[in-house]
Structure 1
Protein backbone atom coordinates (compact mmCIF):
# COMPACT_ATOMS: atom_id res chain seq x y z
CA UNK A 1 0.00 0.00 0.00
CA UNK A 2 1.41 3.36 -1.03
CA UNK A 3 1.83 6.01 1.63
CA UNK A 4 0.29 9.44 1.12
CA UNK A 5 3.63 11.02 0.03
CA UNK A 6 4.10 8.21 -2.52
CA UNK A 7 0.79 9.27 -4.02
CA UNK A 8 2.01 12.85 -4.53
CA UNK A 9 3.68 13.65 -7.86
CA UNK A 10 5.81 16.74 -7.18
CA UNK A 11 5.68 18.63 -10.45
CA UNK A 12 7.73 21.10 -12.47
CA UNK A 13 6.48 21.57 -16.04
CA UNK A 14 6.55 25.28 -16.80
CA UNK A 15 7.81 26.65 -20.14
CA UNK A 16 10.94 28.12 -18.51
CA UNK A 17 11.87 24.99 -16.54
CA UNK A 18 15.64 24.52 -16.23
CA UNK A 19 17.67 21.58 -14.95
CA UNK A 20 18.21 23.47 -11.68
CA UNK A 21 14.43 23.55 -11.20
CA UNK A 22 14.17 19.83 -11.88
CA UNK A 23 17.07 19.11 -9.53
CA UNK A 24 15.29 21.04 -6.76
CA UNK A 25 12.07 19.08 -7.28
CA UNK A 26 13.98 15.79 -7.30
CA UNK A 27 15.73 16.69 -4.05
CA UNK A 28 12.45 17.60 -2.36
CA UNK A 29 10.78 14.47 -3.69
CA UNK A 30 13.61 12.30 -2.41
CA UNK A 31 13.57 13.98 0.99
CA UNK A 32 9.80 13.70 1.43
CA UNK A 33 9.13 10.36 -0.27
CA UNK A 34 7.26 11.67 -3.32
CA UNK A 35 7.32 10.92 -7.03
CA UNK A 36 8.41 13.62 -9.49
CA UNK A 37 6.71 14.71 -12.70
CA UNK A 38 9.19 16.46 -14.98
CA UNK A 39 9.60 17.46 -18.65
CA UNK A 40 10.72 14.66 -20.98
CA UNK A 41 13.91 16.47 -21.97
CA UNK A 42 15.26 15.98 -18.43
CA UNK A 43 14.20 12.39 -17.79
CA UNK A 44 17.48 10.70 -18.79
CA UNK A 45 19.60 12.96 -16.60
CA UNK A 46 17.12 12.67 -13.72
CA UNK A 47 17.24 8.88 -13.98
CA UNK A 48 21.04 8.97 -13.89
CA UNK A 49 21.24 11.30 -10.90
CA UNK A 50 18.25 10.35 -8.75
CA UNK A 51 16.35 7.33 -7.45
CA UNK A 52 13.03 9.21 -7.33
CA UNK A 53 10.23 7.51 -9.33
CA UNK A 54 9.83 9.56 -12.50
CA UNK A 55 6.71 10.60 -14.39
CA UNK A 56 6.81 12.63 -17.58
CA UNK A 57 4.36 14.21 -19.99
CA UNK A 58 3.75 13.48 -23.66
CA UNK A 59 2.05 15.74 -26.22
CA UNK A 60 1.91 18.40 -23.51
CA UNK A 61 0.01 20.67 -23.03
CA UNK A 62 -2.49 20.55 -25.92
CA UNK A 63 -2.55 16.92 -27.12
CA UNK A 64 -2.50 17.86 -30.78
CA UNK A 65 0.45 15.84 -32.06
CA UNK A 66 0.23 12.88 -34.41
CA UNK A 67 -0.38 9.50 -32.76
CA UNK A 68 2.85 8.01 -34.07
CA UNK A 69 4.81 11.02 -32.79
CA UNK A 70 3.29 10.71 -29.34
CA UNK A 71 3.96 6.97 -29.29
CA UNK A 72 7.60 7.47 -30.24
CA UNK A 73 7.99 10.18 -27.60
CA UNK A 74 6.54 7.83 -25.01
CA UNK A 75 8.97 5.07 -26.02
CA UNK A 76 11.89 7.47 -25.76
CA UNK A 77 10.75 8.65 -22.32
CA UNK A 78 10.47 5.05 -21.11
CA UNK A 79 13.94 4.22 -22.47
CA UNK A 80 15.29 7.33 -20.73
CA UNK A 81 13.93 6.11 -17.38
CA UNK A 82 10.34 7.32 -16.98
CA UNK A 83 8.21 4.94 -14.94
CA UNK A 84 4.88 6.50 -15.96
CA UNK A 85 3.56 8.58 -18.85
CA UNK A 86 0.98 11.38 -18.68
CA UNK A 87 -0.55 11.79 -22.16
CA UNK A 88 -2.72 14.78 -23.06
CA UNK A 89 -5.97 13.91 -24.82
CA UNK A 90 -6.97 15.86 -27.93
CA UNK A 91 -9.86 17.94 -26.58
CA UNK A 92 -10.67 19.51 -29.95
CA UNK A 93 -11.21 16.13 -31.57
CA UNK A 94 -13.25 14.93 -28.61
CA UNK A 95 -15.52 17.96 -28.83
CA UNK A 96 -15.84 17.48 -32.59
CA UNK A 97 -17.16 13.98 -32.01
CA UNK A 98 -14.06 12.24 -33.38
CA UNK A 99 -14.13 9.62 -30.63
CA UNK A 100 -12.50 6.88 -32.70
CA UNK A 101 -9.46 9.07 -33.38
CA UNK A 102 -9.16 10.02 -29.71
CA UNK A 103 -9.37 6.39 -28.61
CA UNK A 104 -6.94 5.20 -31.29
CA UNK A 105 -4.25 7.69 -30.31
CA UNK A 106 -4.46 6.74 -26.65
CA UNK A 107 -4.34 3.05 -27.54
CA UNK A 108 -1.28 3.58 -29.75
CA UNK A 109 0.64 5.24 -26.94
CA UNK A 110 -0.48 2.62 -24.41
CA UNK A 111 0.72 -0.13 -26.76
CA UNK A 112 4.07 1.59 -27.28
CA UNK A 113 5.31 1.30 -23.69
CA UNK A 114 5.26 -1.30 -20.87
CA UNK A 115 4.60 1.33 -18.21
CA UNK A 116 1.38 2.95 -16.94
CA UNK A 117 -0.18 5.65 -19.12
CA UNK A 118 -2.38 8.33 -17.59
CA UNK A 119 -4.64 10.34 -19.88
CA UNK A 120 -4.90 14.05 -19.12
CA UNK A 121 -8.49 14.91 -20.01
CA UNK A 122 -8.40 18.70 -19.38
CA UNK A 123 -11.65 18.51 -17.43
CA UNK A 124 -12.13 22.29 -17.01
CA UNK A 125 -12.78 22.51 -20.76
CA UNK A 126 -15.29 19.65 -20.93
CA UNK A 127 -19.01 19.31 -20.46
CA UNK A 128 -20.38 16.53 -18.27
CA UNK A 129 -21.08 14.41 -21.35
CA UNK A 130 -17.60 15.02 -22.76
CA UNK A 131 -16.01 14.15 -19.44
CA UNK A 132 -17.85 10.83 -19.37
CA UNK A 133 -16.97 10.13 -23.01
CA UNK A 134 -13.24 10.68 -22.53
CA UNK A 135 -13.33 8.56 -19.39
CA UNK A 136 -14.89 5.71 -21.33
CA UNK A 137 -12.59 6.17 -24.33
CA UNK A 138 -9.45 6.11 -22.18
CA UNK A 139 -10.67 3.01 -20.37
CA UNK A 140 -11.41 1.30 -23.69
CA UNK A 141 -7.87 2.16 -24.81
CA UNK A 142 -6.42 0.52 -21.66
CA UNK A 143 -5.09 3.67 -20.04
CA UNK A 144 -4.32 2.98 -16.39
CA UNK A 145 -5.23 6.39 -14.94
CA UNK A 146 -7.18 9.52 -15.79
CA UNK A 147 -5.68 12.91 -14.89
CA UNK A 148 -7.90 15.94 -14.44
CA UNK A 149 -5.90 18.77 -16.02
CA UNK A 150 -2.59 20.09 -17.28
CA UNK A 151 -2.78 23.17 -15.11
CA UNK A 152 -2.16 25.29 -18.21
CA UNK A 153 -5.75 25.93 -19.33
CA UNK A 154 -8.88 27.18 -17.59
CA UNK A 155 -9.06 26.03 -13.99
CA UNK A 156 -7.84 22.85 -12.37
CA UNK A 157 -9.01 19.85 -10.40
CA UNK A 158 -12.45 19.82 -8.79
CA UNK A 159 -14.15 17.34 -6.51
CA UNK A 160 -16.96 16.89 -9.03
CA UNK A 161 -14.53 16.06 -11.86
CA UNK A 162 -12.66 13.55 -9.71
CA UNK A 163 -15.92 11.87 -8.69
CA UNK A 164 -17.05 11.62 -12.32
CA UNK A 165 -13.75 10.24 -13.64
CA UNK A 166 -13.31 7.76 -10.80
CA UNK A 167 -16.12 5.71 -12.29
CA UNK A 168 -13.88 4.85 -15.24
CA UNK A 169 -10.31 4.62 -13.98
CA UNK A 170 -8.21 5.63 -10.96
CA UNK A 171 -7.73 9.38 -10.96
CA UNK A 172 -4.75 11.69 -10.62
CA UNK A 173 -6.12 15.04 -9.46
CA UNK A 174 -3.98 17.83 -10.87
CA UNK A 175 -4.30 21.56 -11.39
CA UNK A 176 -4.43 24.19 -8.67
CA UNK A 177 -3.94 21.90 -5.66
CA UNK A 178 -1.77 23.89 -3.29
CA UNK A 179 -2.43 22.60 0.22
CA UNK A 180 -2.99 19.42 2.21
CA UNK A 181 -6.60 20.49 2.81
CA UNK A 182 -7.20 20.65 -0.94
CA UNK A 183 -5.37 17.38 -1.57
CA UNK A 184 -7.38 15.65 1.16
CA UNK A 185 -10.61 16.79 -0.49
CA UNK A 186 -9.46 15.17 -3.74
CA UNK A 187 -8.55 11.94 -1.96
CA UNK A 188 -11.98 11.87 -0.33
CA UNK A 189 -13.57 12.36 -3.75
CA UNK A 190 -11.79 9.23 -4.98
CA UNK A 191 -8.42 10.43 -6.30
CA UNK A 192 -5.55 7.96 -5.99
CA UNK A 193 -2.79 10.40 -6.91
CA UNK A 194 -2.19 14.13 -6.63
CA UNK A 195 -0.11 16.11 -9.10
CA UNK A 196 1.09 19.47 -7.80
CA UNK A 197 3.95 21.92 -8.00
CA UNK A 198 3.23 22.45 -4.29
CA UNK A 199 3.92 18.80 -3.48
CA UNK A 200 6.48 19.63 -0.79
CA UNK A 201 4.10 21.99 1.00
CA UNK A 202 1.31 19.41 0.79
CA UNK A 203 3.44 16.68 2.38
CA UNK A 204 4.73 18.99 5.12
CA UNK A 205 1.17 20.04 5.94
CA UNK A 206 0.15 16.35 5.94
CA UNK A 207 2.89 15.72 8.51
CA UNK A 208 1.66 18.62 10.62
CA UNK A 209 -1.83 17.07 10.47
CA UNK A 210 -0.50 13.90 12.09
CA UNK A 211 0.31 11.91 8.93
CA UNK A 212 -3.17 10.41 8.46
CA UNK A 213 -3.42 7.33 6.26
CA UNK A 214 -5.44 7.47 3.06
CA UNK A 215 -8.11 5.33 4.72
CA UNK A 216 -8.31 7.80 7.60
CA UNK A 217 -8.57 10.74 5.23
CA UNK A 218 -11.44 9.13 3.38
CA UNK A 219 -13.32 8.29 6.57
CA UNK A 220 -12.73 11.60 8.35
CA UNK A 221 -14.26 14.75 6.92
CA UNK A 222 -11.38 17.09 7.74
CA UNK A 223 -8.51 14.84 6.65
CA UNK A 224 -6.99 14.69 10.13
Structure 2
Protein backbone atom coordinates (compact mmCIF):
# COMPACT_ATOMS: atom_id res chain seq x y z
CA UNK A 1 0.00 0.00 0.00
CA UNK A 2 1.28 3.45 -0.89
CA UNK A 3 0.25 6.85 0.47
CA UNK A 4 -2.42 7.43 -2.18
CA UNK A 5 -3.98 4.01 -1.62
CA UNK A 6 -4.10 4.54 2.13
CA UNK A 7 -5.54 8.04 1.84
CA UNK A 8 -8.31 6.83 -0.45
CA UNK A 9 -9.54 4.50 2.30
CA UNK A 10 -9.90 7.32 4.85
CA UNK A 11 -13.12 9.23 5.47
CA UNK A 12 -11.65 12.34 7.13
CA UNK A 13 -14.33 13.24 9.62
CA UNK A 14 -15.75 16.18 11.56
CA UNK A 15 -19.06 15.42 13.28
CA UNK A 16 -18.94 17.00 16.73
CA UNK A 17 -21.91 18.96 18.09
CA UNK A 18 -20.02 22.26 17.80
CA UNK A 19 -18.90 21.74 14.19
CA UNK A 20 -18.92 24.95 12.16
CA UNK A 21 -18.66 25.38 8.41
CA UNK A 22 -15.11 26.64 8.99
CA UNK A 23 -14.33 23.21 10.49
CA UNK A 24 -15.86 21.57 7.43
CA UNK A 25 -13.81 23.64 4.98
CA UNK A 26 -10.65 22.80 6.94
CA UNK A 27 -11.44 19.09 6.70
CA UNK A 28 -12.24 19.39 3.00
CA UNK A 29 -8.97 21.26 2.36
CA UNK A 30 -7.01 18.58 4.21
CA UNK A 31 -8.83 15.80 2.38
CA UNK A 32 -8.09 17.37 -0.99
CA UNK A 33 -4.42 17.89 -0.09
CA UNK A 34 -3.95 14.31 1.13
CA UNK A 35 -6.35 12.49 -1.22
CA UNK A 36 -8.92 11.48 1.40
CA UNK A 37 -12.73 11.50 1.45
CA UNK A 38 -14.74 13.56 3.94
CA UNK A 39 -17.60 12.74 6.30
CA UNK A 40 -19.48 15.79 7.55
CA UNK A 41 -22.78 16.80 9.19
CA UNK A 42 -25.80 16.84 6.88
CA UNK A 43 -26.51 20.52 7.50
CA UNK A 44 -23.31 21.44 5.64
CA UNK A 45 -23.49 19.06 2.68
CA UNK A 46 -24.84 21.55 0.13
CA UNK A 47 -22.23 24.17 1.05
CA UNK A 48 -19.45 21.59 1.15
CA UNK A 49 -20.43 20.21 -2.22
CA UNK A 50 -20.10 23.70 -3.70
CA UNK A 51 -16.79 24.24 -1.91
CA UNK A 52 -15.13 20.87 -2.56
CA UNK A 53 -13.72 19.73 -5.90
CA UNK A 54 -15.99 17.40 -7.83
CA UNK A 55 -13.68 14.42 -7.27
CA UNK A 56 -13.75 14.78 -3.47
CA UNK A 57 -16.14 12.17 -2.07
CA UNK A 58 -18.52 13.76 0.44
CA UNK A 59 -20.21 11.39 2.90
CA UNK A 60 -22.74 12.41 5.51
CA UNK A 61 -24.62 10.80 8.39
CA UNK A 62 -28.27 9.85 8.77
CA UNK A 63 -30.05 9.32 12.11
CA UNK A 64 -26.89 10.45 13.84
CA UNK A 65 -25.74 9.76 16.49
CA UNK A 66 -28.35 7.56 18.22
CA UNK A 67 -30.39 6.14 15.33
CA UNK A 68 -33.72 6.73 17.05
CA UNK A 69 -35.31 8.99 14.45
CA UNK A 70 -38.60 7.77 12.99
CA UNK A 71 -38.01 5.72 9.83
CA UNK A 72 -39.78 8.29 7.67
CA UNK A 73 -37.49 10.99 9.06
CA UNK A 74 -34.38 8.95 8.26
CA UNK A 75 -35.63 8.41 4.72
CA UNK A 76 -36.32 12.12 4.34
CA UNK A 77 -32.83 12.89 5.71
CA UNK A 78 -31.32 10.56 3.13
CA UNK A 79 -33.29 12.14 0.30
CA UNK A 80 -32.29 15.61 1.45
CA UNK A 81 -28.63 14.60 1.62
CA UNK A 82 -28.85 13.21 -1.90
CA UNK A 83 -30.43 16.40 -3.16
CA UNK A 84 -27.71 18.45 -1.46
CA UNK A 85 -25.02 16.48 -3.29
CA UNK A 86 -23.84 13.82 -0.83
CA UNK A 87 -21.98 10.92 -2.42
CA UNK A 88 -22.38 8.38 0.40
CA UNK A 89 -24.59 7.90 3.48
CA UNK A 90 -23.58 6.54 6.89
CA UNK A 91 -26.86 5.45 8.53
CA UNK A 92 -27.20 4.66 12.24
CA UNK A 93 -29.46 1.70 12.96
CA UNK A 94 -32.03 1.78 15.73
CA UNK A 95 -29.95 -0.12 18.28
CA UNK A 96 -32.84 -0.42 20.71
CA UNK A 97 -35.03 -2.10 18.11
CA UNK A 98 -32.23 -4.51 17.24
CA UNK A 99 -31.49 -5.40 20.86
CA UNK A 100 -35.20 -6.00 21.45
CA UNK A 101 -35.17 -8.53 18.62
CA UNK A 102 -37.20 -6.47 16.14
CA UNK A 103 -35.05 -7.28 13.13
CA UNK A 104 -37.93 -6.65 10.73
CA UNK A 105 -38.18 -2.99 11.78
CA UNK A 106 -34.42 -2.45 11.43
CA UNK A 107 -34.34 -4.20 8.06
CA UNK A 108 -37.32 -2.24 6.73
CA UNK A 109 -35.82 1.07 7.80
CA UNK A 110 -32.52 0.43 6.04
CA UNK A 111 -34.17 -1.08 2.97
CA UNK A 112 -36.39 2.00 2.58
CA UNK A 113 -33.32 4.23 2.47
CA UNK A 114 -31.50 1.92 0.04
CA UNK A 115 -34.56 1.88 -2.21
CA UNK A 116 -35.14 5.63 -2.06
CA UNK A 117 -31.60 6.88 -2.55
CA UNK A 118 -29.19 5.42 -5.14
CA UNK A 119 -26.07 6.13 -3.08
CA UNK A 120 -23.72 3.79 -1.21
CA UNK A 121 -25.19 3.13 2.25
CA UNK A 122 -22.95 2.30 5.20
CA UNK A 123 -24.89 0.89 8.15
CA UNK A 124 -23.50 1.96 11.53
CA UNK A 125 -24.23 -0.85 14.00
CA UNK A 126 -22.56 0.68 17.12
CA UNK A 127 -20.56 -2.39 18.08
CA UNK A 128 -19.70 -1.16 21.59
CA UNK A 129 -23.37 -1.56 22.56
CA UNK A 130 -23.90 -5.04 21.11
CA UNK A 131 -23.14 -8.63 22.01
CA UNK A 132 -21.47 -10.74 19.35
CA UNK A 133 -24.83 -12.36 18.59
CA UNK A 134 -26.37 -8.94 18.05
CA UNK A 135 -23.46 -7.89 15.85
CA UNK A 136 -24.09 -10.90 13.65
CA UNK A 137 -27.80 -10.05 13.57
CA UNK A 138 -27.08 -6.43 12.63
CA UNK A 139 -24.81 -7.49 9.79
CA UNK A 140 -27.32 -10.03 8.54
CA UNK A 141 -30.03 -7.34 8.50
CA UNK A 142 -27.72 -4.96 6.62
CA UNK A 143 -27.12 -7.60 3.95
CA UNK A 144 -30.83 -8.39 3.68
CA UNK A 145 -31.63 -4.69 3.32
CA UNK A 146 -29.18 -4.22 0.45
CA UNK A 147 -26.62 -2.05 2.25
CA UNK A 148 -23.15 -1.57 0.79
CA UNK A 149 -21.04 -1.41 3.97
CA UNK A 150 -21.28 -2.03 7.67
CA UNK A 151 -19.58 0.45 9.99
CA UNK A 152 -18.44 -0.15 13.54
CA UNK A 153 -19.25 3.02 15.43
CA UNK A 154 -20.48 6.59 15.57
CA UNK A 155 -17.70 7.59 17.95
CA UNK A 156 -20.32 8.80 20.41
CA UNK A 157 -20.77 5.58 22.41
CA UNK A 158 -18.21 4.23 24.87
CA UNK A 159 -15.69 2.26 22.85
CA UNK A 160 -14.87 2.40 19.17
CA UNK A 161 -13.50 0.14 16.47
CA UNK A 162 -12.01 -3.19 17.57
CA UNK A 163 -10.09 -5.68 15.46
CA UNK A 164 -12.30 -8.59 16.48
CA UNK A 165 -15.43 -6.68 15.46
CA UNK A 166 -13.99 -5.82 12.07
CA UNK A 167 -13.13 -9.48 11.53
CA UNK A 168 -16.68 -10.51 12.43
CA UNK A 169 -18.31 -7.85 10.25
CA UNK A 170 -16.08 -8.54 7.26
CA UNK A 171 -17.76 -11.94 6.93
CA UNK A 172 -20.83 -10.07 5.66
CA UNK A 173 -20.01 -6.82 3.85
CA UNK A 174 -17.16 -4.38 3.32
CA UNK A 175 -16.36 -2.72 6.66
CA UNK A 176 -15.76 0.89 7.64
CA UNK A 177 -13.83 0.90 10.91
CA UNK A 178 -14.51 4.07 12.88
CA UNK A 179 -14.03 5.25 16.43
CA UNK A 180 -10.72 5.85 18.18
CA UNK A 181 -8.43 5.33 15.18
CA UNK A 182 -5.80 7.99 15.67
CA UNK A 183 -2.60 6.77 14.03
CA UNK A 184 -1.22 4.49 11.34
CA UNK A 185 -0.67 1.59 13.74
CA UNK A 186 -4.37 1.53 14.65
CA UNK A 187 -5.47 2.01 11.04
CA UNK A 188 -3.13 -0.74 9.85
CA UNK A 189 -4.63 -3.17 12.36
CA UNK A 190 -8.13 -2.42 11.10
CA UNK A 191 -7.14 -2.80 7.46
CA UNK A 192 -5.37 -6.08 8.23
CA UNK A 193 -8.54 -7.30 9.95
CA UNK A 194 -10.54 -6.68 6.78
CA UNK A 195 -11.65 -3.06 6.90
CA UNK A 196 -11.89 -1.32 3.53
CA UNK A 197 -12.56 2.16 4.92
CA UNK A 198 -11.30 4.05 7.94
CA UNK A 199 -13.40 6.77 9.56
CA UNK A 200 -11.27 9.18 11.58
CA UNK A 201 -10.93 12.80 12.56
CA UNK A 202 -7.17 12.12 12.53
CA UNK A 203 -6.86 11.42 8.82
CA UNK A 204 -3.91 13.75 8.36
CA UNK A 205 -2.06 12.21 11.32
CA UNK A 206 -2.68 8.70 9.98
CA UNK A 207 -1.26 9.53 6.55
CA UNK A 208 1.73 11.41 7.98
CA UNK A 209 2.40 8.62 10.47
CA UNK A 210 2.31 6.14 7.58
CA UNK A 211 4.84 8.19 5.64
CA UNK A 212 7.11 8.51 8.68
CA UNK A 213 7.00 4.74 9.19
CA UNK A 214 8.39 4.25 5.69
CA UNK A 215 11.22 6.76 5.92
If the TM-score is normalised by the length of the shorter chain, which range does it land in? over 0.9
Q: Per-residue deviation at 1:75? A: 1.0
Counterpart selection for 2:36 from 8, 30, 34: 34
Match of 1:21 in 2: 23
Q: Normalising to structure 1: TM-score of the pair?
A: 0.92
- 1:88-142 Cα deviation digits (max 9, x unpaired): 0111000101110010001011111111000000000000100000000000000
Paired with 2:144 and 2:88, the residues of 1 have a C-alpha distance of: 19
Counterpart selection for 1:8 from 7, 10, 14: 10
Q: How does 1:157-168 map to 2 (within 5 A)?
A: 157-168=161-172
Match of 1:190 in 2: 194
Unaligned runs of 5+ in 1: 212-224
Number of aligned residue pairs: 211
Unaligned runs of 5+ in 2: none
Q: Secondary structure at the match of 1:193?
A: strand
Q: Normalising to structure 2: TM-score of the pair?
A: 0.96
Q: Per-residue deviation at 1:209? A: 2.5
Match of 2:68 in 1: 64
Paired with 1:117 and 1:151, the residues of 2 have a C-alpha distance of: 18
Q: Per-residue deviation at 1:54? A: 0.2
Q: How does 1:85-124 map to 2 (within 5 A)?
A: 85-124=89-128
State the 4+ residue runs in structure 1 displaced beyond 3 angstroms: none
Q: State the superposition RMSD in angstroms.
A: 1.2
Kept in 2, the 8 Å contact 1:58–1:88? The answer is yes
Paired with 1:53 and 1:195, the residues of 2 have a C-alpha distance of: 13
